[in-house]
Structure 1
Amino acid sequence: MLHAPESVAASFRPCALIPIYNHKDTITETVHGLRAHGLPVVIVDDGSNDATRAVLRALASKEDAVKLIRLPRNGGKGRALTAGLIAARDAGYTHALQIDADGQHNVGDVPRFLAEGQNDPHALICGHPLYDESVPRARLYGRYVTHVCVWLETLSFTLRDSMCGYRLYPLDATCAEIDRAPLPARMDFDTEVAVRLIWRGVPVRNLPTRVIYPENGLSHFRMLHDNLRISAMHTRLLLGMLPRAPMLLWRKRRRAAWVA
């Protein structure tokens, strides 16, 4: 059983959440970077190999603030995140900072994510990637297709990037959405959960953050299968938007009226 630390303010009790599958060479540095900012860490091992499991056991044995959840077999990033989000909520945390295990994300931005979340605890704080030259061009250009789809699915430009796996979730709303209907098991998780939270009325804040693609980094993105899953997801979400369109447009007009 996980337990939220009593030292954190009662209204804002965040943890970090890391899904991992065979990233044994980068996970230790990522965890140490998060702990340097005082965050308790929940790691969800999505059926990793023996070498990665040994590294994870060592990390969890050294600190009570590092908790390890093991899934019996590899089920996909989305399944691991779902398990971690529910476990974090049940432990009494109010927010979970999702971050990748492969070293792509800048742990130096953790205080900025937490400050945004504390300022607006009901919001989804989404990383808006700032890439350097290490980003594969095909992946970069492919993201714009998803951006356009998401703008149509939400009838807004609120979400700058729905595919970035560096974000702070408000756990009550996120787990309520998980309880309402299961979320995708694999790489389509990040986009679908963001769209469905927007449909739910959760506000979004976009936080620019540096994202790199480490040399010889291990990616589990399967070009054919994951792109097919993402295409099917966008079809499903576009169809789901249609009955919600009047509500989404009404919210948009109301926000415009407030600004005016």
Structure 2
Amino acid sequence: MAGRPGPREDAARSFAPCAVVPVYNHGRTAGATANALAAHGLPVFLVDDGSNAETRDALDRLVEGRDDLRLIRLPENGGKGSALTAGFLAAHEAGYSHVLQIDADGQHDTDDVPRFLETGRASPAAMVCGRPVYDDSVPRSRLYGRYVTHAFVWLETLSFDIDDSMCGYRLYPLDETRAEIARKPLPARMDFDTEIAVRLFWRGVPVRNLATRVIYPEDGLSHFRMWRDNLRIAAMHTRLVLGMLPRAPRLILRKFDRRNSRCAV
């Protein structure tokens, strides 16, 4: 099958991970998240996505005198996708090989950081996707709504490889991620997580899924807007389904062709 070679599972390269944390008015929780990541030996890029004065001050105090924390400040709020893109590009420029993406609001279990890193070290070409394990704090509407996106992603990839495309706890191989960003800009807001997962799968990036505990703190700050973001997600799935159609023959063929199973489509 013709096609640009995808990343190799046995790629011999150094494993030099860092973390990227998008921050938008998470002044009360971003510090604990960053410190927990740093405790696991990860350099941390905090991307301030046009936060309020309280959060800006908290971030300035947090990074003062710290070599393990770097603050990237965006002039205005552009959305989660914009913040992550800025962080990924900065991490790539700094020479890191992988990025661990994690939310700033405390919903992700930082005790699982070593498991993400171990999986990434064992499969450096792979994208390691968190598969949420929820407790009773999860809103039922959010939980059931995820299954709609799951079904669309399985259609868009013609595969069940991605267990959950909406979880913001994920380890990316930076070279392939940077190349995909350069090929076509990614969504700026909440549709980022799903679209980048599908597009990296199309590129031939292998997927590893890792079960991880996710909570919704009672006083947690959510920037999800039901109507606005659901419309964005609907538009994204329309784009991705249309993008799948010309790729369908190769997506199907690479299931049966081990030599080209990681070829981009």
TM-score, L = length of structure 1: 0.94
Q: Say yes or no: does 1:185 pair with 2:216.
A: no
1:251 aligned residue: 254
- 1:62 shift after superposition: 3.1
Residues 227 and 55 of structure 1, relative CA distance in 2, 3 Å threshold: same
For 1:32-43, list aligned pairs within 5 A. Answer: 32-43=35-46
Cα distance between partner residues in 1 of 2:185 and 2:89 = 12
Gap regions ≥5 residues in structure 1: 1-9
Letter in 1 for 2:124: P
> Which string of whole-angstrom CA distances, capped at 9 and with x for unpartnered residues, describes residues 99-150 of structure 1?
0000000000000000000000000000000000000000000000000000
Residues 58 and 257 of structure 1, relative CA distance in 2, 3 Å threshold: closer
Q: How many residues matched?
A: 250
For 1:102-251, list aligned pairs within 5 A. Answer: 102-251=105-254
Give RMSD over aligned pairs. 1.5
2:96 aligned residue: 93
TM-score, L = length of structure 2: 0.92
Moved over 6 A (4+): none
2:14 aligned residue: 11
Residues 255 and 208 of structure 1, relative CA distance in 2, 3 Å threshold: farther
Percentage of matched positions with identical amino acids:
69
The structure 1 residue matched to 2:58, chosen from 49, 55, 58, is 55
Residues 133 and 181 of structure 1, relative CA distance in 2, 3 Å threshold: same
Residues 128 and 232 of structure 1, relative CA distance in 2, 3 Å threshold: same
- 1:257 shift after superposition: 11
Cα distance between partner residues in 2 of 1:129 and 1:116 = 16
- 1:254 shift after superposition: 2.4
> Which string of whole-angstrom CA distances, capped at 9 and with x for unpartnered residues, describes residues 26-69 of structure 1?
11111111111011000000000010001101111131110000
Cα distance between partner residues in 2 of 1:127 and 1:219 = 19
Alpha-carbon contact 2:158-2:252 (below 8 Å) kept: yes
Cα distance between partner residues in 2 of 1:254 and 1:229 = 35
- 1:93 shift after superposition: 0.2
Residues 257 and 57 of structure 1, relative CA distance in 2, 3 Å threshold: closer
Q: Which has the higher contact order (CA 8 A, sep 6+)?
A: 2
SS at match of 1:62: coil
- 1:23 shift after superposition: 0.5
Alpha-carbon contact 2:254-2:260 (below 8 Å) kept: no
